[in-house]
Amino acid sequence: MSIDTRIQDQLDRLGVPFELFPCDPALADTANFCAAYGFQPDDSANTILVIGKSEPPVYAACVVLANCRLDVNKTVKQRLGTRKASFAPAEATREITGMEIGGVTVFGLPPELPVWIDARVMARERVVLGGGSRSFKVIAAPEILTRLPNAEVVDNLANEMT
């Protein structure tokens, strides 16, 4: 099985060393992946598509550490400029990203889609990110994220879980 060519192409163009880490698709969800492969949740980052409920709806991709909870009701909603915001439904995520839940990555997204990165992600030495499918993860320095089109580091995009 190989990684999607559009994801591989974007990774190659970003100019930051990365590792593709194959994984069992049944273990792709963050908690299972970390337990099975020995990674720490605070080194794992999830990509979450959010929707601002307006006409037309607006979307953004958010990258947060696995030990944090995305602040959808305050920070995300304010940034989207809408009265209501939520996690995008699985069907919308599939349609916009071309990826399945559990394998969504910021690499290979439509270039016009905003990418918001919680500032805590940037403090890590390395991060484990989705690889576009449930069969791969991407391991790299967080700097790789700031090289993406429309990427912006955002303070307090997420809150640490207690």
Arithmetic mean of pLDDT, 11-28: 94
In angstroms, the CA 84 to CA 76 distance is 9
Concatenating the DSSP letter of every residue in 117-152 gives EEHHHHTSS-EEEE-SSTTEEEEE-THHHHTSTTEE
What is the domain-level CATH number for residue 142?
3.90.960.10
In 10 A of CB 31, how many CB atoms? 11
- Write out pLDDT tens, residues 44-68: 999 999 999 999 999 999 999 999 9
CB neighbours of 149 closer than 8 A, spacing ≥ 6? 111, 115
Considering just the CA atoms, what is the radius of gyration of the chain in Å?
Answer: 15
Residue-level pLDDT at 3: 62
Instruction: Go through 36-73 and write b for each residue having 16 or more CB atoms within 10 A of its CB, e for each that does not.
Output: eeebebbbbbbbbbbbbeeeeebbbbbbbbbbbebbbe
| Residue 1 clears pLDDT 50, i.e. is over it | no
Asked whether 47 and 145 are in contact (CB, 8 A), the reply is no
Asked whether 89 and 48 are in contact (CB, 8 A), the reply is no
More reliable by pLDDT, 100 or 148: 148
Arithmetic mean of pLDDT, 116-135: 96
Assessment of whether the complete model's pTM goes beyond 0.75 = yes
| Residue 74 clears pLDDT 70, i.e. is over it | yes
Nearest to 160 by CA among 123, 115, 105: 123
Structure tokens at 118: 């919680």
More reliable by pLDDT, 101 or 149: 149
Work out how many domains the chain is built from and give that number: 1
- Write out pLDDT tens, residues 37-47: 999 999 999 99
Range of the domain at 61: 5-160
More reliable by pLDDT, 102 or 34: 34
Percentage of the chain lying above the pLDDT 70 cut: 98
| Residue 105 clears pLDDT 70, i.e. is over it | yes
